[in-house]
Chains A and B, each alone.
Chain A
Amino acid sequence: MSLRKVLVLGILCLSAIVAMGQSSMGGLTSSLGSAMGSGSQGSSDKPLKAKPREPKDTICWHGQFVGLNLVPPAKAVFSPNWGIQIQYNCNLYNRFFPVVELGYARLRETRDLADWQAKQFSQTLTTMYRGSGFYGKIGLDVPIAKKGPNANNLFFVGVRYAGATFNYEILTTPFLATYWADAYVMNIVNQHSLAHWLELVAGLRVEITPSISLGWTFTYNHLLGRTNGDMSVASYVPGYGRDENWLPTLGAWFYWHLPW
């Protein structure tokens, strides 16, 4: 199953659950929590009453979180790739969650030559990509649904602007035979590149204990621009992923609620 299909399936599941919550509890956003508490709003026996609008929160500071994305370090278990991504976000008026993220990623990938390339060489060759670099993101999340006095449980969407600076090398790169020369391989080293991109985020954060929360994020990345190396195009961008215009990624987050 392709990643895109899985994402669509996931969105459909989420929609179904949210719709289920809406129909059985008579509202989604602010009414979700109170509806679960009373348990009577969704009853078909009683006439629906217009719920009073929740007054806007006048308290600015509702706390702050430091988050760690568990996916980049977990990659080290399954592959030679790994990274670290740390997030800081704070809760303003229970409606705005400014976000800053910093990260580092190391990428290693090997690829056997395709048949149309391999037939020009007498031995089996493997191209290797090695790169690493830092990235940063800044953005804002807003809640779609929330529960608790400090938006302890949260379903949110957000946007991020991100940038990365990184170095890479591509070893055993095949250069195929031409009219003038036989096929040969070359190591392309000391390549430097910059990239910036936009992220659309949908996520979920659930409080486990008063100081710890867990969450998931679906991110759709759109590459805005990138400088190429002197002799190559970077195959991967740290914090972004493969060199594609639109790319979905997943995050699994561990959040620590700072006590001040």
Chain B
Amino acid sequence: MAYTPQDYKSELKPIWCPGCGDYGVVQAIYRALATIGRPPHEIAFVSGIGCSSRIPGYTTAYGFNSVHGRALPIAQGIKIARPELLVLVAGGDGDGFSIGGGHVAHAIRRNVDLTYIVMDNQVYGLTKGQLSPTSPRGFRTVSSPEGSLEDPVNPLMYVLGYGGRFVAQGTPADLSGLTQLVVEGLRYPGFAFINVQSPCVTYGSPDAQLKAHKSSMKNLASLGHDEGNRLRAMELAAEYGRSLYTGIFYRDPEPPPAYEALVAERRRALTDPGASRERVLEKFALR
């Protein structure tokens, strides 16, 4: 059965502001899911808290709009418990790299087959405009009226640095490019990370983040970037905040088995068809 993007669109109306980049992201996700073609009930879509974390509710998948920063552990539990599901995770830069930053490194090294989409808008929108972990130094917000005194987190370097095996960046300004990245991420058999430059029209600086770059946006494929070259990927990723590269920075040409595949293998090896749960207690009998 063929699916259309419409099949993944729920009845809920997004709460996002007009012009928000996240509208483009959810469109890209509908299209990518239609390309992949899995029925909605076989998809789990997990998020944390934030404007962008509302996104699972706008799809017809099984959604889980959880608590701030904790989407990744929940998503890993789902995928390990039911490896046959397609599991997406999404959230904002604050969710992923501030309050939930500690989980990212472990999701990478555990390598559960998830596609993690971060809508990076460089500001906290839902709480009305405070600094976020990717806010540029000097950025003035209600919580930093004199300007931020901190360097931003570089999400691309962060994930590459921890050994991420699929690292990409897109923007809703290039919807077909972003759709393709989501498709590639979903197809990658392991932890896939997609940073989306999705500016906030209300509290962010969309001009600085995207519009000014739009003309100079550089597509990695058209630059002839070798996506199997991790070191080159890191050089390009280091440009985060200065140059806007889109496309796949790094994709492991030889992906190792994902975590849940290893779990399944161990289960196959260790599951004892004769083992009865009722008899577990008998271990305690004195022999």
A and B are partners in one complex rather than unrelated chains: no
